[in-house]
Structure 1
Amino acid sequence: MADDKKGLSRRDFLKTTGIATGTLVGGGLIGGLVGYNANKGGTGTLDKKKGNDEHAQATNTRGLMFFTNQNEFNVLSQAVERIFPKDDLGPGAIGLGVPFFIDNQLAGNYGSNAKEYMQGPFFAGESTQGYQSKLTRAEIFKQGMASLDSEAQKRFDKRFVEIDGGQMDEVLTAFQKNEVNMIGVSSEFFFKLLRTATLEGAYADPIYNGNINMDGWRMKGFPGHQMSYINEIESEKFVKIEPKSVSSMEH
Structure 2
Amino acid sequence: MAKKTKNFSRRDFLKTSGVATGALIGGSLLGGLIGYNANNSKTSPTETKSGEHKQEAALNKGRMFFTNDREFQILANATERIFPKDDLGPGAIDLGVPYFIDNQLAGQYGSNSKEYMQGPFASGAPTQGYQSNLTRAEIFKQAVAKLESEAQTRFKNGFSKIEAEQMDEILTAFQKDEVPMKGVSSAFFFRLLRAATLEGAYADPIYNGNNNMDGWRMKGFPGHQAAYINVIESDEFQKIEPKSIGSMH
Q: TM-score, normalised by structure 2?
A: 0.89
Whole-Å Cα distance in 2 between the matches of residues 91 and 225 of structure 1? 21
How far residue 42 of structure 1 moved from its aligned partner, in angstroms, is 6.1
Give 1:144's aligned residue.
Answer: 143
Give 1:211's aligned residue.
Answer: 210
Q: Partner amino acid for 1:30?
A: G
Give 2:30's aligned residue.
Answer: 29
- Structure-2 change in CA distance of 1:243 and 1:41 (3 Å): closer
Whole-Å Cα distance in 2 between the matches of residues 214 and 188 of structure 1? 30
What do residues 82-111 of structure 1 show as CA deviations (whole Å, max 9, x unaligned)?
Answer: 000111221100000000000000000000
- Structure-2 change in CA distance of 1:26 and 1:205 (3 Å): closer
Q: Could you tell me whether the CA contact under 8 Å between 2:100 and 2:207 is conserved in 1?
A: yes
Whole-Å Cα distance in 2 between the matches of residues 14 and 143 of structure 1? 32
Give 1:46's aligned residue.
Answer: 46
Whole-Å Cα distance in 1 between the matches of residues 222 and 158 of structure 2? 40
Q: Partner amino acid for 1:146?
A: A
RMSD between aligned residues = 1.9
Whole-Å Cα distance in 2 between the matches of residues 44 and 131 of structure 1? 34
Q: Would you say 1:104 and 2:106 are equivalent positions?
A: no
Structure 1 gaps of 5+ residues are: 52-60
Q: Could you tell me whether the CA contact under 8 Å between 1:44 and 1:78 is conserved in 2?
A: no
Whole-Å Cα distance in 2 between the matches of residues 214 and 40 of structure 1? 25
Give 1:16's aligned residue.
Answer: 16
What do residues 186-219 of structure 1 show as CA deviations (whole Å, max 9, x unaligned)?
Answer: 0000000000000000000000000000000001
Aligned residues, how many?
234
- Structure-2 change in CA distance of 1:129 and 1:43 (3 Å): farther
Greater share of helix: 1
Give 2:157's aligned residue.
Answer: 158
Structure 2 gaps of 5+ residues are: 50-59
Instruction: Output aligned runs, 1:71-150, within 5 Å.
Output: 71-150=70-149
SS of the residue corresponding to residue 35 of structure 2 reads helix
- Structure-2 change in CA distance of 1:127 and 1:42 (3 Å): farther
Identity %: 69
Q: Partner amino acid for 2:29?
A: G
Q: TM-score, normalised by structure 1?
A: 0.88
How far residue 69 of structure 1 moved from its aligned partner, in angstroms, is 1.4
Instruction: Output aligned runs, 1:170-181, within 5 Å.
Output: 170-181=169-180
